[in-house]
Amino acid sequence: MTAAQPERASAVDPEVPAGETLRIGELAKRAGITTRTLRYWEEIGLISPSDHRGSGERVYPPAALERVLHIRELQELVGFTLAEIRAVLESDAIIERLRIAREQGATVRRRRLLDEAIVATDALVARIDDRIARLAAFRDERAQRADRLRARAVELDELAAGAQPVKSGS
């Protein structure tokens, strides 16, 4: 990981005391992104502030840093679009609701959430499989192009080696 890329945080940032919040600028700095990016992600529903101060300034819980770093990881490592990231986050949210329902012993609700989690996870796996297939096709296309270019280079080398210099008229 480079200096510009912060390490993935745990669920709670140890540098932020429990119950404390991060201002938007603090969150952006720790995550290595801009406040403009955070505002855009809020606009499209990827992240939400826990509150707005009287001045309208957004504040976030310490766990928001983990979510932001997870989004960045999905962008950079996996190459997901923001729409694909939203699908991942929605799937994660369903699984979290399932965990809470299990803790509460709500059997009927757990079964419904389990069905939702299966559908969401299958859809996510299908998206990943589609991405892998498209990348493989793109890679194969480029490999074929490289092979054609190499063959053309060999042809040109052979043509240049076989060409006799032209003698001027004697």
Residue-by-residue pLDDT tens, the chain, 170 positions: 444 444 444 444 445 555 678 888 999 999 999 999 999 999 998 998 877 777 777 889 888 999 999 999 999 888 888 988 988 888 888 888 888 887 887 777 778 888 888 888 898 889 889 989 999 999 999 999 999 999 999 999 989 888 665 565 55
Give the number of other Cβ atoms within 10 Å of residue 64's Cβ. Answer: 24
Residue 4 domain-assigned? yes
pLDDT value, residue 168: 56
Residue 56 domain-assigned? yes
34 with 58: CB under 8 angstroms? Answer: no
124 with 88: CB under 8 angstroms? Answer: yes
Strand boundaries in the chain, DSSP class E: 22-23, 51-52, 58-60
Residue 97 domain-assigned? no
Residue 85 domain-assigned? no
Pairing label, strands 58-60, 22-23: antiparallel
Residue 132 domain-assigned? no
Residue 27 domain-assigned? yes
Residue 96 domain-assigned? no
DSSP-assigned letter for residue 3: T
Question: How many domains are contained in the chain?
Answer: 1
DSSP-assigned letter for residue 58: E
Residue 45 domain-assigned? yes
Output the pTM of the full model: 0.60
| Structural domain boundaries, residue 37 | 1-79
CATH code for the domain in which residue 20 is found: 1.10.1660.10
